[in-house]
Copies of this chain bind each other. A is one copy, B any other.
Amino acid sequence: MTETADLAIKSQVADAALVQRRRSQIVAAAVELFSEHGFYTTTIQEVARKAGVSIGLIYQYVHDKDDVLLLALLSVLDSYKREIPAALAGVSDPLTRCWVAVDAYCRVVDSRREATVLAYRSTKSLPEARRDLIKNAEIETNEFIAECLRDCVRHGLFRDVNIELATYHFVTFAHAWALKYWRIREFSTLEQYIDEGLDFLLSALLTPKGRRQYRTLRAHRNAANAGAAPRPER
């Protein structure tokens, strides 16, 4: 489950497959507990119990509690890095790619909502060097979005804005679903959030040409969705 990560952290145990399995067992428990109670108020005892292993075992697969946090956070960031390109696979139209990327990002964030908040809460608890691993993972994920935007600019669908900054508008939009869920859920569903949010973000960028294309895209999608899963009215 946490592919990238593990190399960075030493284990007492030799068998790589076992390390993989045990760590994902530990991390799954840790993410759940850290998300709910926070890193510092969760004890290794609790992680061990929830993972169904002994305390001592954990220390055969990580060096200390900080390692568990790093693995937990990397597992979250890895899920972004996996899901977005997966959703994008086979889609070639630039505007559609942009749409799909944001949609996918919001949905991974939603599926790991608590864990996303955990990442915001706890990244700073990591020692500098490890924090950089997290930051790099975020930068890599952003690159998927940035590439979509650049592509749209290249095709004359978006105006020529600062891509780095625009990327962050998109990224924070996706993250905000988790960070502000406590409030947003009071007046919006995920579907609505994505729908209206994308409309907002695209409106900021579309050229007249892009706008025309967006309209037809939207019409098609609505037509396709109409029979299957009607979206709630505002």
Contact = CB atoms under 8 A, between A and B. Distances in A.
A40 B188 CA distance: 34
A183 B135 contact: yes
Contacts of A139: 183
Interface string A178-194: 01101110011000010
Interface string A28-59: 00000000001011000000000000000000
**Interface magnitude class on chain A:** 35 or more
A34 to B, nearest CB: 11
Contact of A166 (B121, B122, B183, B200): B200
A173 B204 CA distance: 14
Nearest to A202: B204
Interface of A: 38, 40-41, 117, 120-122, 124-125, 135, 138-139, 161-162, 164-166, 168-169, 172-173, 175-176, 179-180, 182-184, 187-188, 193, 196-197, 200-201, 203-205, 234
